[in-house]
């Protein structure tokens, strides 16, 4: 399916990934840095996200307005995002403007000025973004849950940091953090659409082939099972629904069981035919939204389950969700359900590959995994009912559960009652 995917490495460690689609009218260009919130020292929590914002605020050649006009003036789009282990800057333009996209992205990625006045202004913008998400109870529940799953570890800190931290972060410390972490061997340039691989490699070499890694480049703090687990949190807010979030630590992308966990999550709560949807919503009518998600980084991962419901139904909803988790560990999944889930996951993956799966391919390159889609399909097809049951028994135990509840101020269940519920 990805016969036209090519990967090259420059002598300085920068990688170039292309996915050619000769009939495409557009080109997507991206620069991805293998740097995110887990790279940050505690005093600079939120620095990666703030840097992402600041790269759009101007270079020696372009103002913030000129950056957007150069891309959007061609009918294109330009944006970025920050995660725990990566920051990505990307643009999509008509194919004959690919050079413009690379020039603009390269300019902001390497030449952002971090003007002090712009930095002070953008601090306030990011502070408003943090406040916006803090007004969304489901986001609050998932942020609390991450803190509990990876207590005291950089993985558990909020990606955007705190309002107080972002407003106080010294400019010199931000620039030093960027210089120490935005290294060639952590950088991937990707191109998808009407592109030619060798031309893209030469263009990146002209732009960044002369750069070298900073001395003493440090790896992020590794994950270990010894990281403390904070089992429960209860947050009170002036809201109407109770938000429930459950999490268990799981193997990472480099673990052979990662696709089996993706299978387990698909079976549990990623579609309308999943167990959680059919049980919690359809059969019991306890909530509108309930879902699961398997998140995986190179060295670790997590299974998340989230639901929002009326406070009077919240206890029943949580008990029903945990009963479904227990059922995965207690009884093998019937053959017909295994077949439906396998068909769903393989079909969804194939449709994703039918689009422009350059983000998937780059993620695999960064993790050092094969970029052949058939290897993923083979792994999904190989998952057995006993594999699912063994994973549930090994990783989804009450001892491994972290639970975050965001409840209305007047909700009747207290922290002690919720904590008793966790022994399922």
Catalytic machinery residues: 52
Q: Which residues contact 263 (CB under 8 A, 6 or more apart)?
A: 341, 342, 345, 380, 383, 387, 388
Q: 138 near 239, Cβ under 8 Å?
A: no
Distance from C-alpha of 420 to C-alpha of 375, rounded to nearest angstrom: 43
As given in the structure block, the two tokens for residue 158 are 């909020």
State the pairing for strand pair 301-309/401-408: unpaired
Q: Which residues contact 248 (CB under 8 A, 6 or more apart)?
A: 302, 303, 395, 396, 397, 400, 401, 402
Distance from C-alpha of 423 to C-alpha of 112, rounded to nearest angstrom: 52
Distance from C-alpha of 248 to C-alpha of 301, rounded to nearest angstrom: 9
Distance from C-alpha of 424 to C-alpha of 415, rounded to nearest angstrom: 16
Coil, strand or helix at 377: helix
Distance from C-alpha of 203 to C-alpha of 291, rounded to nearest angstrom: 43
State the pairing for strand pair 26-33/87-94: antiparallel
Coil, strand or helix at 376: helix
Rounded to the nearest 10 degrees, what angle do helices 373-382 and 258-269 cross at? 70
216-243 as b/e: b if 16+ CB within 10 A: eeeebeebeeebebbebbbeebebebbb
Distance from C-alpha of 36 to C-alpha of 42, rounded to nearest angstrom: 13
Distance from C-alpha of 375 to C-alpha of 392, rounded to nearest angstrom: 24
State the pairing for strand pair 15-20/187-193: parallel
Distance from C-alpha of 61 to C-alpha of 91, rounded to nearest angstrom: 18
């Amino acid at each position: 399916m990805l016969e036209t995917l090519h990967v090259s490495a420059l002598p300085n460690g920068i990688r170039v990934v292309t996915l050619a689609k000769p009939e495409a009218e557009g080109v997507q260009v991206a620069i991805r840095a293998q740097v995110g919130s887990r790279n940050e020292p505690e005093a600079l929590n939120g620095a990666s996200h703030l840097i992402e914002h600041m790269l759009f605020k101007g270079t020696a050649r372009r103002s913030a307005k000129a950056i957007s006009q150069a891309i959007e003036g061609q009918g294109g789009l330009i944006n970025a995002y920050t995660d725990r282990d990566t920051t990505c800057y990307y643009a999509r333009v008509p194919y004959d403007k690919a050079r413009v996209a690379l020039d603009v992205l390269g300019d902001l990625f390497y030449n952002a000025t971090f003007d002090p006045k712009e930095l002070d202004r953008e601090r306030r913008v990011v502070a408003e973004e943090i406040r916006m998400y803090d007004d969304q109870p489901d986001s609050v529940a998932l942020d609390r849950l991450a803190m509990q799953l990876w207590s005291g570890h950089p993985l558990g800190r909020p990606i955007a940091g705190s309002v107080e931290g972002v407003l106080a972060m010294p400019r010199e410390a931000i620039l030093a953090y960027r210089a120490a972490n935005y290294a060639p061997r952590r950088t991937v340039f990707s191109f998808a659409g009407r592109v030619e691989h060798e031309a893209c490699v030469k263009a990146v070499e002209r732009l960044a082939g002369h750069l070298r890694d900073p001395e003493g480049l440090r790896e992020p703090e590794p994950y270990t099972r010894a990281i403390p687990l904070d089992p429960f949190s209860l947050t009170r807010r002036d809201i109407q629904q109770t938000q429930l979030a459950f999490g268990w630590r799981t193997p990472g992308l480099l673990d052979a069981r990662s696709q089996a966990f993706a299978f387990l999550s698909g079976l549990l709560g990623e579609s309308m035919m999943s167990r959680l949807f059919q049980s919690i919503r359809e059969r019991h009518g306890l909530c509108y939204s309930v879902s699961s998600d398997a998140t995986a980084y190179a060295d670790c991962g997590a299974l998340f389950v989230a639901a929002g419901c009326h406070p009077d139904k919240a206890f029943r909803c949580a008990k029903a969700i945990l009963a479904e988790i227990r059922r995965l560990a207690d009884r093998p999944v019937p053959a017909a359900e295994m077949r439906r889930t396998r068909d769903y996951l393989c079909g969804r993956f194939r449709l994703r590959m039918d689009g422009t799966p350059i983000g998937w391919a780059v993620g695999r390159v960064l993790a050092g995994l094969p970029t052949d889609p058939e290897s993923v399909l083979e792994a999904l097809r190989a998952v057995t009912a006993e594999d699912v049951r063994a994973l549930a028994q090994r990783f989804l135990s009450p001892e491994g559960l972290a639970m975050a509840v965001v409840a209305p101020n007047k909700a009747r269940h207290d922290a002690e009652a919720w904590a008793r519920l966790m022994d399922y």
